[in-house]
Chain A
Amino acid sequence: MMSHLVIIPLLLPLLTGILLLLLRGSATELHRLINLAATLGLVAVALLLLMQTGEGQVEVYRLGNWSAPFGIVLAADRLAAVMVLVTGLLATGVLLHGRRVGSYFHVLFQMQLFGLNGAFLTGDLFNLFVFFEVLLIASYGLLLLGGGRNRTRAGLHYVVLNLVGSTLFLFAVGSLYGVLGTLNMADMAVRLAELPESDLGVVRTAGLLLFAVFALKAALAPLHLWLPGAYGYTSAPVAAMFAIMTKVGAYSILRVYSLLFGPDSGPAAGLLDPWLIPLALLTVAAGTLGMLASRRLSQQAANLVVVSAGTLLTAFGLGGIDAVAAGIYYLAHTTFAAAALFLLADVVSRARGEYADRLVTGPDLPRGQLLAGVFLLIAIAVSGLPPLSGFIGKWLILQSSIGNPWMSWVLAVLLITSLLGVMGLARSGSQLFFDTDGWAEAGPAIRLSDLAAPLVLVLLGIVLVVYAGPLYEFSRAAATQLVQPSAYVEAVLQTAEAGRIR
């Protein structure tokens, strides 16, 4: 009996988005409530999905009940369920931030969730492309909401770059289909294992093209330069929601390369080994330099997203169960922490009136100590100091690098950039909250409810610390499932074994 649970994370946002579009004449408050209810529903569905996949089975949903290599499948394993849950929790936190952005925000927000969940759950490479496009189209709209010179310019770069990325994705998909004759990722894994030597060159080229596309989405250096502009100039809730977007790229790298180019996948194995770690470490260094040079808090937060993308891909590049498990734990932490920083930057920006979030001497803030306290909490989480979740995540990654040939580089780069990160955030904090000019005019005093959204996200980070043991065990289980993809392949292709044509 096929469980219909797997498709609900796609249907719920899609139908909610359509409903919101039909209700576009009514009050925004109603839209927000519907949006929040749907997002909470998504969290509940994700929890159910997590329970179903928690024992290690792979839930496969065959659309139209066509068997696997011919029909389209959705597949949920532990990692996919975790990603859907992280997305749902992040979206809930972001929606609590009650700032009006634009009239179609809620519609586009649900479409973005639809694309994200689709990308996490699909088992088919072409559908991964389609869901990437869905989430990108929604993100173009979200990014440009509100308008303004800087936003339009950054948005134009983002759109053009991603369109070129989509073209490369199609070239890669086409080449792989031409050689392997299938687009179902599990079936591709099977075909790759028995690949003739003559086709190896095409497959390797297509694999590296795919890597370039995912690296663009994941903001891996040198393809990260679009991110600080795009995230730094867009509105706060959108930037906070985009904290998950680079993780989609990282997730795709992990999913596609563990299935197709993993250690036991035949002749094309280990395709990324020479690339991923050096580029990821370069990303961390570049993001840290950008963070130190930032002149606005939101720009600094955007550069910290680059740093976290690099750290995450370092973990995935190290490979092995320990490192991938550390990466999955770090992924959840960094998504919440980065989003919290973007939302706090918005609160601070409004409190400082015309000084916005520029790192210059500004006014004395009413309730400044409260704001500074929340900033301190978030900065500790983001920069990876104990006792919050960033520390555990980074520590797990560093620990898993021991014994790897790249150990000295990973340790050196991650530790030095962590120190620089602490210094950069400390400088911003003292600039914003202590270096004040009594004559400057502050903006309207903040309300306590403004801090609800950042605090909820910080609280999620604290939950990650309190339950670090069981959560890490679960990430290990998810990583084990990824490193040994045979169960995934069998679950997807199970019923097709009898009727294979080729």
Chain B
Amino acid sequence: MEALIAIVIGTLTACGVYLSLRGRTFPVVLGLTMLSYAVNLFLFVMGRLTIGQPPIIRDGASYADPLPQALVLTAIVISFGMTAFVVILSLRARAELGNDHVDGKESE
């Protein structure tokens, strides 16, 4: 289970890094989205992987750490808003610069 989650997060991060280094805005936006998915998963499992446990402290019983769930909720909202913003900004850059290259000019 741990290995699977680690591989998933690693793959997402690697793809995100690769895509965000691309020269056009669309792959960059996709890369940023993948990076934010990866980090959301990462934050989520930082409370350790537990199955079927309540997120409430009770006498004797073990519990799932509720804090990462709250953190990840915040992180999702922020990254969602940011992605929306960067999509709009990319469209505006496409309109103003005449192409979708991040530097605003086609490389030779």
A residues at B contact (CB < 8 Å): 126, 130, 133, 137, 140, 144, 147-149, 152-153, 155-157, 159-160, 163-164, 166-167, 170-171, 173-175, 177-178, 183
Contact = CB atoms under 8 A, between A and B. Distances in A.
Contact of B78 (A156, A166, A173): A166
Q: Considering the complex of A and B, which 8 residue pairs feature the smallest CB-CB distances, nearest first?
A: A178-B46, A170-B39, A174-B43, A153-B104, A174-B46, A167-B35, A152-B96, A167-B39
Do most interface residues of chain B lie in helix, strand or loop, or is the interface mixed? helix
Contacts, number: 84
Given A130-B74, A156-B25, A166 B93 contact: no
Given A152-B104, A153-B103, A174-B68, 19 more contacts: A126-B74, A130-B74, A133-B78, A140-B85, A144-B89, A147-B96, A152-B89, A152-B93, A155-B89, A160-B32, A163-B36, A166-B78, A166-B79, A167-B32, A167-B38, A171-B42, A173-B71, A174-B46, A174-B71
A159 B86 contact: yes
A159 B90 CA distance: 10
Contact of B82 (A157, A166, A171, A178): A166
5 contacts: A156-B90, A156-B102, A160-B102, A163-B32, A177-B43
B28 A160 contact: yes
B45 to A, nearest CB: 8
Contacts of A152: 89, 92-93, 96-97, 104
Interface of B: 16, 20, 25, 28, 32, 35-36, 38-39, 42-43, 46, 48, 67-68, 71, 74-75, 78-79, 81-82, 85-86, 89-90, 92-93, 96-97, 102-104
A156 B89 contact: yes
Contacts of A155: 89
B74 to A, nearest CB: 6
A163 to B, nearest CB: 5
Nearest to A140: B85
Do most interface residues of chain A lie in helix, strand or loop, or is the interface mixed? helix
A216 to B, nearest CB: 14
B46 A175 contact: yes
Nearest to B85: A140
A174 B20 CA distance: 22
Most buried by A among B38, B42, B68: B42
Contact of B42 (A137, A148, A159, A174): A174
A177 B90 CA distance: 34
Contacts of B104: 149, 152-153
B88 to A, nearest CB: 10
A164 B20 CA distance: 9
Nearest to A132: B78
A163 B80 CA distance: 11
A379 B85 CA distance: 38
Nearest to B16: A167
Nearest to A150: B104
B89 A149 contact: no
Contacts of B90: 156
Contacts of A137: 81-82, 85
